Amino acid sequence: MHSRKETTHQEPSSSLEMHWVSSPSTHQPRLLISRTIAFFPTFVPLSNTANMNRGPPNPRMFKFQPNPKVKNRFQDEADLRSLRSFKTDFSNYLASDTNFLNVAEIMTSYAYGESNNANEKEIQCDLLTENGGIEIDPTRLSYRERIRWHLQQFCYKTSSHGIPMLGQAPNSLYRAVWVFLLLICAIQFINQAVAVIQKYQKMDKITDIQLKFDTAPFPAITLCNLNPYKDSVIRSHDSISKILGVFKSVMKKAGDSSAEASDDGVEYDMDGITIQAKRRKRGAGEKGTFEPANSACECDEEDGSNECEEKSTEKPSSDNDMCICAFDRQTNDAWPCHRREQWTNTTCQACDEHYLCSKKAKKGTKRSEIKKEPCICESKGLFCIKHEHAALVLNLWEYFGDTEEFSDISTEEREALGFGNMTDEVAIVTKAKENIIFAMSALSEEQRILMSQAKHNLIHKCSFNGKPCDIDKDFELVADPTFGNCFVFNHDREIFKSSVRAGPQYGLRVMLFVNASDYLPTSEAVGIRLTIHDKDDFPFPDTFGYSAPTGYISSFGMRMKKMSRLPAPYGDCVEDGTTSNYIYKGYAYSTEGCYRTCFQELIIDRCGCSDPRFPSIGGVQPCQVFNKNHRECLEKHTHQIGEIHGSFKCRCQQPCNQTIYTTSYSEAIWPSQALNISLGHCEKEAEECNEEYKENAAMLEVFYEALNFEVLAESEAYGIVKMMADFGGHLGLWSGVSVMTCCEFVCLVLELLYMAVTHHITQERIRRRENAANEF
């Protein structure tokens, strides 16, 4: 060993140098101890170093020299040698026993110790190996040399390609070439790494489509009558009675405007015969059933047509002002009208489904098919209506109501209803429906339920999977502002229902009775509203429902799709559950429900009342039907939202998990003539009962078209695993670095940090000692 360091004007201090020597035969360390001179302990040989090859070194062969500051100075510094400079074989010495007595004698013979070590912890301990090499203890090096030594050792030992070539470079040119190659590879790796990271940050996703052949759960089916409330019951409510009265008055004015706009006195040419008619509002295919009705009329007999113009809303002042008209309840048309004395009760041989009759049957009709029906015909016998002679004749002024009885409605209330100067009957009906919803919102939910159709009045027959239903248990009531009482099949979330097989026989088959005779005048169609949805979702029949007519069997074949979307950061969907302010409590989150929630919050914030078409928030009262300010505010913001949806400031995401049902629709005339179904209150003959079913009942079938369903699942297109694989591939390609190599770099950084911290702590301790010594 040899370590030389200049020593000038250093205070002597006592220190020892200990060399642990390992013997290959005994495997026990041997200790070689010497006094140290200057900063690093040295041995000064008295003879040539070659003599060491002759055998184990003898401690007496070495002479310990004092520090240059003491009296016994070195005579010849060239004779100073360290064991580090001895390139010799220590095998014989290591194999021999250590003479501790000689060592102790040498140690005690030295009068005083000379060493410039700072403290006893700086004693140098080197390991002598059999080949004469000595491993350096880096802790004895200075701070900068120690860092340099660690960096050199890392270059020699690292598993990274290229870096060891820097440490083993024989010259500067060789080292510069490898530095250039390493820089080129590093730049290329950085470019590839940036591209990989950018690709990952796009958060792309892919959609996997699978077709599963498994039993699909049967959805919930919501059934509603297109007529929300019974006309015979709802008129007892003052607000509803006023609304219907104003509605009829506005409809009458709109009808008069349409009549004035039409051509009066138009001549129709039929087979060369010219027929002149004052008015003909009813077109082909628009007829319902006709009945005779009394009405106030103005008759002009000078034109020779014998027709009169009805004034259905006015009560006749005398019998001379009264006439009989053919009235259609479906279209509210009263035409033709003739004086009462021109109508005669008689019998007719043929009547159609619209109750239009003829006195004589068509030629070729069999005698057995001719039926004599009671009817009433005008004097010329050109127009006849089926009519029981003993039945009362309808009075149109009573049917339409006297508009004067609503004269107590203030101008503000009329304006609040929103009819204004409307002349379009479709728009008037739409506004009237809205007014009824607003008026009914002032009642309690229990009152609204009583005014709508009951469960057993609507649902008459039912079967599922070919077995009868339990109407009381299988159907649950849901009150809807637009359609009144609705009933949900398969509402229990704890019970799993599924179809045994595909096809209508193994789905839901239900017969419904709507009672068209008790419809409101605002109900434009007769039939059923059907909604297919997941049992966790609110049905929203006004948005997602299908209408099925009476007199038909409507078949809804369905298929199920399951959607699974990724949440952030790959997507933008709402995970399981609902938002905190969701107004449809107890139901799963949906986009439609979110928009309605946001709209309701906007209306409450700006109008101070809630929209009665949606559930309220925080117990806020719904907007009043006759409050002009409420109605104008609501209408204003509704139009603003419809015109510029972006100003709505409502952000509604798709649910992460969603079940969608797609349907295909078909229908057929029902019931057939051969089908005789018993109706609870129908005491007529089978054919007459079937006729009543055609007008008031509908048959529905809901079933799976196939026992399979689609699963659409989103997955990450480039996830963290693929990114790390590509990152590691480029890292290995351009730098030859693996995960273990990265760990080596981490360990190097930690070692350097540890060295820096310990160096700082040591320097701080020395500074404190110096300060303490200066104080004394």
Number of Cβ within 10 Å of residue 582's Cβ equals 21
Q: For residues 627 and 609, give the distance between their C-alpha atoms in angstroms, rounded to a whole number.
A: 11
> Measured between alpha carbons, how far is residue 714 from residues 25, 259, 597 in Å?
71, 60, 27
- Largest Cα separation within the chain, whole Å, is 164
CB 65 within 8 A of CB 37: yes
Q: For residues 314 and 317, give the distance between their C-alpha atoms in angstroms, rounded to a whole number.
A: 9
CB 440 within 8 A of CB 480: no
Helix (H) / strand (E) element for 151: namely helix 143-157
Return the domain boundaries, the chain: 16-136, 163-198+722-775, 217-236+445-559+662-706, 289-405
**The token pair that represents 269 in the structure block:** 């040419």
pTM of the model: 0.62
**Mean pLDDT of the 429-444 span:** 95
* Amino acid occupying residue 646: G
Quickly tell me which residue has 């040539």 as its tokens: 48
CB 709 within 8 A of CB 214: yes
- Pick the range with the lowest mean pLDDT from 123-132, 143-152, 520-529, 678-687: 123-132
Superfamily of domain 217-236+445-559+662-706, CATH level 4: Acid-sensing ion channels like domains (2.60.470.10)
- Taking alpha carbons only, the member of 308, 406, 391 closest to residue 345 is 391
- Please list, in sequence order, all residues whose beta carbon lies within 8 angstroms of the beta carbon of residue 408, skipping any fewer than 6 positions away: none
Q: For residues 11 and 5, give the distance between their C-alpha atoms in angstroms, rounded to a whole number.
A: 15
Above 50 in pLDDT, residue 759? yes
Rg of the chain's alpha carbons, rounded to an integer?
A: 53
CB 418 within 8 A of CB 631: yes
CB 437 within 8 A of CB 527: no
Amino acid 148: pLDDT:
87
| Tens of pLDDT, residues 183-207 | 999 999 999 999 999 999 999 999 9
Chain centroid, CA 663 distance in Å: 22
- In this structure, the strands spanning 508-513 and 384-386 are unpaired
Q: For residues 612 and 523, give the distance between their C-alpha atoms in angstroms, rounded to a whole number.
A: 19
Residue 160: band (very low, low, confident or very high) from pLDDT cuts 50, 70, 90? confident
373-378 β-sheet, strand order: 343-348, 373-378, 384-386, 356-358, 350-351
Above 60 in pLDDT, residue 3? no
- In this structure, the strands spanning 373-378 and 343-348 are antiparallel
Quickly tell me which residue has 């928030």 as its tokens: 617
Q: According to the 3-state scheme, what is the secondary structure of 536-578?
A: CCCCCHHHHCEEEECCEEEEEEEEEEEEECCCCCCCCEECCCC
What percentage of the chain exceeds 90 in pLDDT? Answer: 39
Amino acid 644: pLDDT:
53
> Measured between alpha carbons, how far is residue 771 from residues 69, 230, 365, 474, 776 in Å?
27, 103, 135, 93, 9
What percentage of the chain exceeds 70 in pLDDT? Answer: 74
Q: How many alpha carbons lie under 13 Å from residue 620 in its C-beta half-sphere?
A: 21
- Pick the range with the lowest mean pLDDT from 130-134, 187-191, 223-227, 389-393: 130-134
Amino acid 460: pLDDT:
92
Q: For residues 123 and 17, give the distance between their C-alpha atoms in angstroms, rounded to a whole number.
A: 6
Amino acid 154: pLDDT:
87
- pLDDT: is 431 or 156 the higher one? 431
- Please list, in sequence order, all residues whose beta carbon lies within 8 angstroms of the beta carbon of residue 212, skipping any fewer than 6 positions away: 708, 709, 710, 711
Q: For residues 103 and 429, give the distance between their C-alpha atoms in angstroms, rounded to a whole number.
A: 122
Q: Exposed, middle or buried by CB within 10 Å (0-12, 13-18, 19+), for 312?
A: buried
Q: For residues 334 and 396, give the distance between their C-alpha atoms in angstroms, rounded to a whole number.
A: 9
- Taking alpha carbons only, the member of 626, 247, 628 closest to residue 422 is 247
| Tens of pLDDT, residues 60-105 | 444 444 444 433 333 333 333 344 444 455 566 666 676 777 767 7
